[in-house]
Amino acid sequence: MVNRKHNKKNKELKVVFAPGCFDTFEGTQEELDELIAEIHKTFDGKTAEEIEGMSKPVDFDDLDEEEAEMLANIHKNIKKH
């Protein structure tokens, strides 16, 4: 999750993970560590404008069952915190 406290488009953002966001991760600790490192590599130090340029829209009607479940879990965890 990108920290939205710094919403100026030219300010570098920092990736911050919500507590429990990887609770349903099905993989080894090594795989999780690699995933987290890749997320940091992709987004740390980028500006909101750069991240926006990297993004693409998601059509929620086109999500498969697993993706829809993941999205529901994310939404549920965000509401908790």
Q: Is the pLDDT of residue 75 over 70?
A: yes
Q: Which domain holds residue 34?
A: 1-81
Distance from C-alpha of 43 to C-alpha of 41, rounded to nearest angstrom: 6
Distance from C-alpha of 49 to C-alpha of 46, rounded to nearest angstrom: 8
- The tens digit of pLDDT for each residue in 10-65 reads 788 888 888 888 888 999 999 999 999 999 999 988 998 999 999 988 888 899 99
Q: Is the pLDDT of residue 68 over 80?
A: yes
Q: Is the pLDDT of residue 7 over 60?
A: no
Count of domains observed in the chain = 1
